[in-house]
Amino acid sequence: MAKRRLMVVAMIPDASLDAFIVALPKVELHVHLIGSASVATVLELARRHPDGGVPTNEEELRAFYAFTDFRHFARVYAAVNALVREPEDVAALVLGLARDLSEQGARYAELQVTPYAHHQVGMPMREVTEALDGAARRAPVEYGVEMAYIFDIPGEYGVEAAEVTLAHALEEPPAALVGFGLGGIEQERPPYRDAFRDAFAAARAAGLHSVPHGGEMTGPETIWEVVDGLGAERVGHGISCLQDDRLVARLRERQLPLDVCPTSNVRTGQVARIEDHPLPRLLEEGLFVTLGSDDPPMFATTLADEYRTVARAFGFGREELASFARNGVTASYLAADRKRALLAEIDALAATG
């Protein structure tokens, strides 16, 4: 694909563009279960479990979410995760995300779930799976949003986390499980490379798609590992690929999707300002990019807000925003007929302008 040269012009989306963003049929491919918990939900859980160390009033909780770097974010995320102690909590988070996405014009989400976190607080696999299955059945009926799941390994927890995640994926999978991922602190992965490779090989052999994080807080070497070592079909973040021309050429040739989360990258300190985000250059290089929200309430964003943010920061209009939506649908693991229907809706909406 030829490189595209973009003109970056700061602007504020007008009312008609904002209405277009809301109406645009969108899919969310990069969002985490715990990170999707609304402020109201976290406050409810914190008050229910005051021993968890999470603030129980809104002002203090929002200050709690003022991250200094990724490690600080990881500690806060772990504290919130520890509040999710019952299967009913898991189901409530899934349905809360479905409700929130429905208000933004989203139709489908691939939600990243970390079974190891639930294992640590003593929830049996079967109960977690039943909660996920029940929520996935209710979400389309109640909110018009189809939910699928990706089980991800928190990388810093090493071999045990890989084994627990794989066991859950193979022995007690929810019906809507489509993928296998790897997240957490990238710098702490190397000692466990072989364990992760083995887990991904087994998951892929079972028919799951490989969707690990890479190149969010480390350099291109992490992306090379998830592509060559883990067989990645999509890469979470991937923004450091621009440091390696050979890697950019590989990603461009294969049109390997990068699930880019601009606000997340700013809030965790990977990018200084949204205006400095490499998104325009990723597009100029002809790379395949989707937009995701990552951990939306923690980062004070939504999926629709990510579209608004890039429109404001980089001057993207209807066609560029529609392209992000098309890419999301194309990169998703939706059934082919659902993809065709959503792509037709996007094209019809884009043509009205």
Instruction: Cite the active site residues.
Output: 216
Report d(CA 329, CA 336) in Å as an integer: 10
Report d(CA 149, CA 108) in Å as an integer: 11
- Identify the CA nearest to 85 among candidates 119, 58, 55: 119
Q: Under 8 Å CB-to-CB from 328, ≥6 apart: which residues?
A: 26, 27, 28, 29, 290, 291
Q: Under 8 Å CB-to-CB from 319, ≥6 apart: which residues?
A: 350
CB atoms within 10 A of CB 88: 12
- Identify the CA nearest to 176 among candidates 135, 210, 148: 148
Q: Report CA-CA distances (Å) from 60 to 161, 292, 344.
A: 32, 26, 45
Helix axes 336-351 and 318-331, enclosed angle (nearest 10): 180
Encoded tokens for 83: 């509040």
Number of H helices, E strands in the chain: 16, 9
Radius of gyration of the chain (CA): 19
